[in-house]
Every structure is written in structure tokens, then in C-alpha cells.
């Protein structure tokens, strides 16, 4: 019996790829890695041991990142701190990239309709897939430092529940449903939190910096949701094999009284069996299995080998790009039984098709659509069956050639404490594109197209807020925004908002200037 899609809607409103059980697929072996590459992999000058001062970055360091991934013999890698260099690294490897999730892979990667950035699909054998998600949780304040500095356990647990647990909620809501329905699911990341499997009474008895056992909320919640920690599956004794990933000695962000810990994980659930797990790091490092000299980043990596039963999803069509400029071709990958793919304005049906292409009887095919006749605006690619029923919708946005990202506040004057509505369009939609509030003229706002190293004049942000990968959208700068050099509310003064790329400082656009004034009497 073929797998059939059940369109389930999560609490977040996402349509999930869920499948009824069918005959098992032949198992395949897949190696999944997590690796924090330290600010794009090019901001550490390994020759001097200092920050790279070249505005274009230090490309030789990226070369060592690439060789480290090759040495690990990984198939799929969740990167953290990619800062828009994910596809640069993938190109060096001859791989695919999915910047919306900072993923690279030797297998084709798809952003499936309905996932809304919660996960991607990797096609590990023709027509069969695994799901992969990747996270980088907030780093500050760091819980183990609070333990080191004498904070009691209830205070530390409250910090974790406020700071990091909310950042993993979407994955907790979405991913287990995929696994329960027969999809192998992997979650990689720099979780910036230890594991409840590591801060045990036995570890408390032998590690001075572990002042008391802690059931760390993020790892415990993921375990309760069905995720298995591949490193601890292979190395179950945290006393004998701590497996620290944070941090190798001599890295730029370590502190003299550092608390070393295992905060980078490869988690798994669904039809996947863990066969092996290795730690990737510097030569001679504790518990390091795959040694590199020089080692190019401040986190050790983890690479785990799995035997998986890849899933055959129900029919879908996935666009190859969510931001499209008129005149550039758009690739659409169609999977499963279907008749044709059509492009329409967002929200419209098959009768309003602007362009149509037949699948020609193929069950897995990539169709290429010209966009010269499309007008700017929101569009969707629809997969239709022979009766023109819509099987899936994949959104994308069309812009005139050369359209730069832009942003604007809803007003030019706000009262103290009044949330600031900001709208943007034509953003690249990377995982961690962000909006920073700045004082106008603070540092050189303009920077080179290829500026990756240093702050490029955009480091003195007062508050910041992520765009949540949206190409076009709006949000509120307010109490929920993250603190930078200031906390909410902003004081009386003149400000601007800058759109910056993928957790880095590469400038994409600057808003109008706006004022904060005292409340009206």
C-alpha cells in the first residue's frame, strides 16, 4: 500500500508531513553531524590565534572547516553560526545547502511545503527522505556559569525555563509527529545547555564544577518528546566519557574559569538505529575520536552513524527558492503521483494558473519555470492531480530584478514604551536574519557585500529581534525583543532599524529614522 499524507495541523498552524504505516523500506546508513563553525568559519585567524581583521574574512580558516567535515565523513551537517557562509562551505564540498536551517548535505535538501522552516527533507535514496532540523539556542546568560558562581538550583532552572526552553518549543511541537508517523527525524544543534544525562549524582561526586545534579529542562523536554541522544546511546557513562564539546583550549571566547560541558548534540527519533558516535576536535583533546590540527572552531563537533528506514512522503511540490527575481528561473521539485505544477498568485486556485508544467508521468522530477512573465508579489507553486485537485502549496515571493531588501517602521514618532512596528520585504530568509535597533550614525552603517569578519560597523545594537526566516513580513520591537546595549523600553531619542544577515553583521537595509518621545500628557 502506498504511503498516504494526512494533513495534520500542529498547535503552531503548520501542516505536517504525516504518513500511515506501510511496508518497510530497505535500511540505509546515514552519518549526521553537528558543528558550530564560529562566526561563519572565517573570523578566526588560526595563524595568529586572534580575530580575523580582514573585512572579507580569513578564507584559509573556512578551508579547515571543510577539511574537518571531510575527515568526519559526514553526509548531513547542521551548522551553527553559519552567518550566510553555509552555501560557501557546501560549494567547497560539492554539496547542497539549505540556508533557512543552516543545513548542508551531500544529499539533495528540500524545504517542503507546510514545514515553515521547522525542518527540511534530505533525499537519502531516490524518492525517500529523512527529516532534519537544526537549532542554535540563546547563549546568554549561560546556566553552568550561574552554577559556578553560586546560584542555587531553583534559580538556574528558572533561567533555563525562561531563556532556552521557549526557543525549542516549535521543534517539540512539530518533530515528534513526523517520527510517530514513520519518518526518521534528526535534530542537531548547539543547545547552549548541558544534558540531564550528564549532570547526574555520579558526576556531581567527581566534577567540582558540578555543584549539584541538574535535570536541565531543554534536554529533559526533548527526551520526554521521544528524542534519543546519540552520543549517550553509545557512551552511556558520563563519568567515564564526558564528551565535552565546549570548548577546546585556546579558543577566542573561552574564559579562565571555564565550565567545560557537552552542549552540542545529534538527537534522533523515529525509524533510525544509532550505530556509532564520534567526537570531532583538536589533536589530543579529551574523548576526541577524529583529530584535526589545526582545529578551526571553538566547539567540538559530533558525528553519529545511523541505520535508517527512509520515508516515502505523500505528493508535494517544493520550490527551490522562496525569493525570486523576475527573469531568474525557478526550480520546483515534484514528488509522488501528480499531474502538473502550476504557478499562481498567493491564495488562488488552478484556474488562475500563470504558468503550467506537466510532470509527464514522472513521480520525482525537477521542473524549471521561467519567471519573466510573473509580476512582483506573493505566489505559490501548486501540485495538482489529474482532476486538478490541489495536493500541496509552496509559497514564494517575486521581486523586480535588483530589488534590495528594505524595511520601514509604521510611524515616525513613538511614545516611550510603545512597541515599534517594523515591516520588511525582499529579505533572503536565512535562519537568523535579524533586526537591530541602532542610534543613527553609530559606526559605519554601510559595509562591503562580502563583509563577514568583525562587526562591519554594525556591532553596537541596542535591541534585536529575529525575522523568523520570513522573506516579507512584520514584527514588533518591544518587551519581547532581546537586549543588546540597552534594554526595553528605549529612552527618548532618535533611532533606526537595520536588517542584518544570518546572525552576522552584513548589512541588508536601513529603515527610516524615528523618534521616541515622552508620553503625551
Domain ranges of the chain: 5-273+281-308, 316-399, 406-517
Per-residue pLDDT reduced to its tens digit, 386-425: 999 999 999 999 999 999 999 999 999 999 999 999 999 9
Lowest mean pLDDT across 23-37, 79-93, 119-133, 144-158: 23-37
User: Is residue 424 a contact partner of residue 476, using CB atoms and an 8 Å limit?
Assistant: no
Per-residue pLDDT reduced to its tens digit, 240-256: 999 999 999 888 887 88
Per-residue pLDDT reduced to its tens digit, 363-390: 899 999 999 999 999 999 999 999 999 9
Domains 5-273+281-308 and 316-399 equal at CATH topology level: no
Q: Quick one: 70 exposed, middle or buried, by C-beta within 10 A (0-12, 13-18, 19+)?
A: exposed
What does the pLDDT read at residue 506?
85
Alpha carbon distances (Å) from 169 to 11, 35, 53, 503? 11, 22, 37, 20
According to DSSP, residue 315 is labeled P
Fold (topology level) of 406-517: Immunoglobulin-like (2.60.40)
Average pLDDT estimate for 229-236 = 98
The three cell numbers locating residue 114? 507546510
Closest C-alpha among 2, 38, 130, 39 to residue 501: 39
Cis-peptide into 248, omega within 30 deg? no
Fold (topology level) of 5-273+281-308: Deoxyribonuclease I; Chain A (3.60.10)
What is the pLDDT confidence band of residue 2, given thresholds at 50, 70 and 90? very low
Per-residue pLDDT reduced to its tens digit, 440-478: 876 655 555 555 555 677 888 999 999 999 999 999 999
How would you list the strands of the sheet with 28-36, edge to edge?
A: 96-98, 103-105, 76-80, 28-36, 301-308, 272-282, 290-292
Residues 6+ apart with CB under 8 A from 397: 322, 323, 324, 377, 378, 379, 425, 426, 471, 472
- The overall average pLDDT reported for the chain is 91
CATH architecture of residue range(s) 316-399: Sandwich (2.60)
Reported in sequence order, the residue ranges of 180-269 that DSSP labels E, i.e. its strands, are: 185-190, 228-229, 264-269
What span, in angstroms and rounded, lies between the C-alpha atoms of 467 and 475? Answer: 8
Amino acid at each position: 500500500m502506498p504511503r498516504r499524507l494526512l494533513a495534520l495541523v500542529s498547535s503552531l498552524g503548520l501542516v505536517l508531513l504525516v504518513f500511515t504505516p506501510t511496508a518497510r523500506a530497505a535500511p540505509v546508513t546515514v552519518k549526521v553531524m553537528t558543528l558550530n563553525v564560529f562566526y561563519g568559519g572565517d573570523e578566526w585567524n588560526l595563524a595568529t590565534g586572534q580575530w580575523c581583521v580582514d573585512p572579507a574574512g580569513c578564507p584559509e580558516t573556512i578551508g579547515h572547516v571543510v577539511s574537518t567535515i571531510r575527515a568526519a565523513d559526514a553526509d548531513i551537517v547542521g551548522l551553527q553560526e553559519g552567518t550566510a557562509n553555509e552555501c560557501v562551505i557546501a560549494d567547497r564540498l560539492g554539496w547542497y545547502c539549505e540556508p533557512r536551517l543552516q543545513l548542508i548535505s551531500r544529499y539533495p535538501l528540500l524545504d517542503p511545503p507546510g514545514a515553515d522552516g521547522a525542518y527540511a527533507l534530505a533525499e537519502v535514496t531516490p524518492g525517500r527522505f529523512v527529516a532534519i532540523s537544526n537549532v542554535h539556542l540563546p547563549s546568554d546568560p549561560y546556566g553552568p556559569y550561574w552554577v559556578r558562581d553560586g546560584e542555587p538550583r531553583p534559580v538556574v532552572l528558572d533561567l533555563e525555563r525562561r531563556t532556552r526552553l521557549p526557543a525549542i518549543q516549535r521543534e517539540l511541537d512539530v518533530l515528534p509527529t513526523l517520527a510517530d508517523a514513520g519518518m526518521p527525524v534528526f535534530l542537531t544543534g548547539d543547545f547552549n545547555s548541558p544534558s540531564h544525562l550528564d549532570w547526574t549524582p555520579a558526576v556531581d561526586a567527581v566534577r567540582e564544577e558540578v555543584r549539584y545534579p541538574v535535570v536541565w529542562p531543554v534536554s529533559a523536554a526533548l527526551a520526554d518528546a521521544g528524542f534519543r541522544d546519540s552520543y549517550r546511546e553509545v557512551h552511556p557513562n558520563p563519568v567515564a566519557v564526558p564528551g565535552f564539546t565546549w570548548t577546546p583550549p585556546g579558543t577566542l571566547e573561552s574564559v579562565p574559569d571555564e565550565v567545560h560541558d557537552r552542549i552540542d548534540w545529534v538527537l534522533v527519533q523515529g525509524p533510525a538505529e544509532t550505530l556509532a558516535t564520534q567526537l570531532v576536535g583538536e589533536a589530543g583533546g579529551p574523548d576526541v575520536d577524529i583529530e584535526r590540527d589545526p582545529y578551526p572552531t571553538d566547539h567540538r563537533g559530533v558525528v553519529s552513524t545511523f541505520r535508517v528506514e527512509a520515508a516515502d512522503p505523500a505528493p508535494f511540490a517544493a520550490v527551490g527558492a522562496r525569493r525570486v527575481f523576475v527573469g531568474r528561473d525557478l526550480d520546483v521539485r515534484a514528488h509522488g503521483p501528480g499531474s502538473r505544477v502550476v504557478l499562481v498568485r498567493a491564495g488562488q486556485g488552478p484556474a488562475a494558473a500563470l504558468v503550467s508544467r506537466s510532470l509527464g508521468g514522472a513521480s520525482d522530477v525537477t521542473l524549471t519555470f521561467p519567471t519573466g512573465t510573473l509580476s512582483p508579489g506573493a505566489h505559490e507553486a501548486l501540485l495538482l492531480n489529474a482532476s486538478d485537485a490541489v495536493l500541496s502549496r509552496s509559497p514564494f515571493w517575486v521581486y523586480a530584478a535588483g530589488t534590495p531588501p528594505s524595511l520601514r517602521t509604521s510611524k515616525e514618532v513613538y511614545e516611550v514604551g510603545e512597541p515599534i512596528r517594523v515591516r520588511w520585504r525582499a529579505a533572503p530568509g536565512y535562519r537568523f536574519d535579524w533586526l537591530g535597533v541602532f542610534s543613527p550614525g553609530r559606526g559605519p552603517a554601510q559595509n562591503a557585500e562580502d563583509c563577514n569578519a568583525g562587526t562591519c560597523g554594525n556591532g553596537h545594537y541596542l535591541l534585536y529581534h529575529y525575522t523568523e526566516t520570513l522573506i516579507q513580513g512584520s514584527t514588533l520591537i518591544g518587551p519581547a525583543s532581546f537586549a543588546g546595549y540597552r534594554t526595553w523600553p528605549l529612552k527618548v531619542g532618535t533611532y533606526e532599524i537595520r536588517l542584518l544577515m544570518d546572525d552576522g553583521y552584513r548589512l541588508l537595509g536601513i529603515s527610516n529614522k524615528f523618534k521616541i518621545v515622552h508620553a503625551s500628557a
